[in-house]
Amino acid sequence: MYSDVQKDDLKRRNADMSRVKPVEEDYGKPLTPERLDEMIQRVTGWALLNGAQRKITATEFRERVEPVAITLFPSILPVDVLRKAKSLQTSFQTLIYKVANDHEFMKECFSGLLSVDAFTKQLWDIYETVTNEGPAQEVSFTITRNDFMMESTEEDGAKQDCKQVEINTFAASGCGVANSMVDVHRYSLSLQDFPFEEEQLPENNSIDGLAQGLVKAWQLYKNKRAVILFVVEPCTPDHRWLERGVYRLDRSIKVIYRTFPQLIIQMSFGENRKLIVDGAEVAVVYYRYGYAPKHYPTDAEFKLRLGMERSRAIKCPTVAVHLAGCKKIQQVLAEPGVLERFIDDTDVIKDIRSTFVGLYRLDAKDSSKIITQAIQTPERFVLKPQREGGGSNLFGDDLRNYLEEIKESPERSAWILMDRIQATRHRNRLIRAGLGSECRNVVSELGIFGFHISTPTSELENIECGYLIRTKPEEANEGGLCKGLSCLDTPFLV
Ligand code: ADP
Ligand code: MG
């Protein structure tokens, strides 16, 4: 069964198909329909073999998987763009670290929206409680994925620059399947006898890199018997890759998986605020769940989160870093002079700023100007609340209608407005379960992974590790690997 989004997508796809030249011609040679079918079958088989899969159903004892949506070929990316995005990762991580440790700044950013955003207020209350009490654990561990889209800087698209979509500091996913793709696309190019240098499809080390972060955080806890707790929802396989990464580095480290409902029953505290789950002391809490209001149906879930935050376990991330990853912070950081509060190096400031598109608050004295512009030309903007996980942003008519509704009300403080990135369009064949394998005009989104370990007074580790590329039809507003709308991809560096 298709969702409404997918049905719309199918309609548009049929309208589009006739216009798009088959991408195979860019990669070696045209294919007959029979050869194309064979190619798709072999490449998706190869993807499954490499672990590029997603879970579609699961019961307690049984899982069904299918290949995750992929592109048939890699997508061309200027080598400078990848280099720049990767090189900025540690500066962005330092920036988030400094924001999260600047209580006054956090207060200034969030004060206007707490009365109109109940979920953020709940997280804020947890943050205030632990800030006032002082940390039971000095060490903070963060995994990030900084997302960009590419914009052409010249008419013909020959030069591109990366523009930040957002930085994810909570439950950043996709590192596992991303690693599978290099091999898949090297294979598809080989099937086409298309010549390429190995480094044009660069190796991706995100699992090993992030797993090293987990192991280092675990070591800092200094108790060899303590476990790493993965806080998960019942049905997503991505974090297993990380468990395997940890296992390969140090088999003595135990990883346990628990859902919120399980933790509500099994969690307790030992002396010195030790976090105990089912008898085991927890060294590191790695959250892959807990970013959406629906994850907290009752007060018990907020109490649970507060308990974990207060504990001596190392959190990935702390609630402060979770909040520092909010879109509101991103918007304020783009205001004149704000980066200077956190970074001394003017070159770094310039580079970071060059990745920003216009970001606007809606509650300033002069906001009515930008609000009017967005109502008149909604296709140029995206309207975003303080939410993660996809599906919450507004585009086009929805943006216009909602902005009309809230433009005078206090509610508007909970949202930010962002210029819509005019992403560089290219072509690829999208292989999505149930949606065929048509050749489409597409745009790509590049995510850079990294981890950061710190205490309030010093940065202990700041590492960039690997990438994720997702590609979606150019007309799609949002993507989403889990929803099967965007496709896993690989950069083909030129
Ligand atoms: P979430 O936290 O829900 O993932 P994002 O800010 O990452 O929210 O937006 C979700 C998706 O919407 C992005 O992956 C991207 O495809 C699209 N998107 C977000 N902001 C922009 C923008 N400024 N221009 C173009 N597309 C955007
Ligand atoms: Mg996102």
pLDDT band at 234 (very low <50, low <70, confident <90, very high): confident
**CB under 8 Å to 98, separation ≥6 — which residues?**
342, 343
Could you read off the pLDDT of 388-399 as tens digits, one per residue? Answer: 988 999 999 999
CA 391–ligand 1 middle distance (angstroms): 9
Torsion angle in degrees (nearest 10) through CA of 43, 45, 46, 50: 140
CB 184 within 8 Å of CB 487: no
Q: Which residue out of 128, 138, 388, 438 is catalytically annotated?
A: 388
How many Å apart are CA 304 and CA 263, to the nearest integer? 8
State yes or no: cis peptide before 237, omega within 30 of 0: no
Using the atom order of ligand 1, give the atom closest to the CA of residue 389.
3
How many Å apart are CA 465 and CA 175, to the nearest integer? 10
For the record, the structure tokens of 370 come out as: 């930008």
Sign of CA pseudo-dihedral 233, 258, 290, 254:
negative
H or E stretch covering 189? helix 175-191
* Higher-scoring residue by pLDDT: 437, 235: 437
pLDDT band at 157 (very low <50, low <70, confident <90, very high): low
Of the candidates 454, 464, 392, 359, the residue with the CA atom closest to the CA atom of residue 146: 464
Residue to mutate (ligand 1; options 169, 379, 393; most atoms within 8 A of CB): 393
Q: Which long-range contacts (CB under 8 A, 24 or more apart) does 128-132 make?
A: 129/306, 129/309, 129/310, 130/306, 130/309, 130/310, 130/318, 130/319, 130/320, 131/103, 131/320
How many Å apart are CA 269 and CA 220, to the nearest integer? 20
Question: For the chain, how many residues are written?
Answer: 494
Instruction: Output the pLDDT for position 2.
Output: 46
For the record, the structure tokens of 177 come out as: 């399947």
Q: Is the pLDDT of residue 202 over 50?
A: yes
Q: Which residue out of 216, 315, 327, 432 is catalytically annotated?
A: 327
Of the candidates 190, 168, 58, 100, the residue with the CA atom closest to the CA atom of residue 451: 168
CA 470–ligand 1 middle distance (angstroms): 12
Least-confidence region, from 65-69, 196-200, 251-255, 337-341: 65-69
How many Å apart are CA 259 and CA 482, to the nearest integer? 19
What backbone phi and psi angles, to 5 degrees, belong to 308?
-65, -40
Q: What is the mean pLDDT of residues 367-389?
A: 97
Cα atoms found within 13 Å of the Cα of residue 327, Cβ hemisphere only: 26
Residue to mutate (ligand 1; options 5, 161, 166, 168; most atoms within 8 A of CB): 166
Could you read off the pLDDT of 167-201 as tens digits, one per residue? Answer: 999 999 898 889 989 999 999 999 999 999 999 99
CA 276–ligand 2 middle distance (angstroms): 32
For the record, the structure tokens of 208 come out as: 């090993």
Residues with CB under 6 A from ligand 1: 147, 149, 165-166, 382, 384, 387-390, 392-393, 418, 420-421, 445, 478-479
Of the candidates 178, 130, 223, the residue with the CA atom closest to the CA atom of residue 456: 130
Of the candidates 391, 377, 388, the residue with the CA atom closest to the CA atom of residue 420: 377
CA 149–ligand 1 middle distance (angstroms): 9
H or E stretch covering 54? strand 53-58
pLDDT band at 18 (very low <50, low <70, confident <90, very high): very low
Of the candidates 163, 169, 167, the residue with the CA atom closest to the CA atom of residue 356: 163
Could you read off the pLDDT of 133-154 as tens digits, one per residue? Answer: 999 999 999 999 999 999 998 7
Distance of CA 360 to the CA centre of its chain: 22
Instruction: Output the pLDDT for position 480.
Output: 72
DSSP sequence for 100-141: HT-HHHHHHHHTTTTTT-HHHHHHHHHHHHHHHH--S---EE
Distance of CA 188 to the CA centre of its chain: 27
pLDDT band at 14 (very low <50, low <70, confident <90, very high): very low
Number of helices (H), then strands (E), in the chain: 17, 20
pLDDT band at 334 (very low <50, low <70, confident <90, very high): very high
Instruction: Output the pLDDT for position 24.
Output: 83
| Residue % of the chain over a pLDDT of 70 | 93
Instruction: Output the pLDDT for position 435.
Output: 66
How many Å apart are CA 323 and CA 313, to the nearest integer? 19
Using the atom order of ligand 1, give the atom closest to the CA of residue 390.
3
Least-confidence region, from 17-31, 33-47, 101-115, 457-471: 17-31
CA 40–ligand 1 middle distance (angstroms): 29
Instruction: Output the pLDDT for position 64.
Output: 81
Instruction: Output the pLDDT for position 1.
Output: 40
Distance of CA 79 to the CA centre of its chain: 22
Stated pTM of the model: 0.94
Q: Is the pLDDT of residue 415 over 70?
A: yes
For the chain, percent helix, then strand, then coil, each to nearest 5?
40, 25, 35
Could you read off the pLDDT of 258-274 as tens digits, one per residue? Answer: 999 999 999 999 999 99
What's the mean per-residue pLDDT of the chain?
92
